Amino acid sequence: MLHIILTILKIIGILILVILALLLVIIGVVLFVPIRYRVNGKKDAESLYVKAEVYWLLHLFRLKAVYPEPGQVIAKILWFTVYDSKKEDNAEKSKKEKKQKAKKEKTKKKDKKKEKTDFETKEFENKEVQQSKTDRAETESKKIESAGTESAKIESMKTESTKTESAEPESLERILPQETEQETEQEEPKKGKIREIIDKIKALIQKVLDIFKNIRYTIGKFCDKIKEIWANIQYYAEVLKEDETKRAFLMCKQQLYKIWKNIRPSKLKAKLKIGTGQPDTTGYILAVHGMLYPLIGNNVFIEPDFENQVYEGTIFIKGRITVFVLLWAAIKLYFDEDIKHFLKRIKREEEVNGR
């Protein structure tokens, strides 16, 4: 019985060790096997062509992109295509066409329903029009009967209005003297006008005083901002002078150089013909090329054209990227104490400014 249990445990242990070994192998392959890239480009007076390829683990994983139109992106594992932009575009187009057909069918059904409803509504409206005609004839007969009674009422109203018109002139004679007395009372004396002028002068003086107060306030606020900016400059100058910040910048410089050394192309060949149409700007481009000559060398050749506007040439780039170098540089930068100290100093200054 114990022998069986031990054999089972032994098999389980071997399986665990095999799984761990496989995981270590996979992690090692991902970290240390480089990702290779290659770019070919060509530019003529009429066309532009660019082809970029990325492959990993002896071309088992491949990614290819081609420009110009119709552009295409293809991703493959072994000989199986995982992603193809053209197929997806065609699938999307077919889906759109199906949706458009379905919409057209729906619109046709809706149009048929509308035609039926319109026919029914027209019949209903014709019936309503006939009923309205009969109602109008009845109302007109009633109006003719009521017209006689209204004419008698109008004659009685006219007699009453003649009586009231005869009484109006007597009432106006009584009201007119009262209105003239009120107008004389409402007339303002000259003293009121003088007071208004004095009030206007006071308001102008107050406005001038307010303007001077605002100018004084803005000058004080501007001076406070200058003092605050000067204090910030002094603080950052002190931070930059610290030994921790110097060590942090040195660490960043070293790791960024390692990253660039890992990413930069191992092969670069370019033959270009450049002309901006203006001699001065073309000369600037040649000056920049001369400054970068220690880094580029003879790999990039530029043929200038000082008269015409020309952008032509061919380019070839090839290189590789190792994931371990990038990961190790990121770990070093993340766990560095000097960088943490520098970030804390900046955060403290930001909190003070926020307050």
User: Mean pLDDT in the chain?
Assistant: 80
- Contact (Cβ atoms closer than 8 angstroms) between residue 86 and residue 72: yes
pLDDT at 313 over 90: yes
Q: Which phi and psi (to 5°) does residue 311 adopt?
A: -135, 95
Place of tokens 């990993």: 56
Over the stretch 124-160, which tens digit does the pLDDT of each residue have?
A: 666 666 766 666 766 766 666 665 555 555 565 655 5
The 3-state secondary structure of 318-342, one letter per residue: EEEECHHHHHHHHHHHHHCHHHHHH
Q: Considering just the CA atoms, what is the radius of gyration of the chain in Å?
A: 47
The pTM of the whole model exceeds 0.85:
no
Could you please report the per-residue DSSP string of 38-68? EEEEEE-SS-EEEEEEEEETTTTEEEEEEES
pLDDT at 354 over 50: no
Sorted by where each begins, the domain ranges of the chain are 190-241, 243-354
pLDDT at 94 over 70: no
pLDDT at 265 over 70: yes
Helix or strand holding residue 309 (H, E): strand 309-321
Beta-bridge partner residues of 311 = 274
Strand order in the sheet with 80-84: 80-84, 72-77, 61-67, 48-56, 35-43, 309-321, 267-276, 300-304
Percent of the chain predicted with pLDDT > 70: 74
What tokens appear for 238 in the block? 């002190």
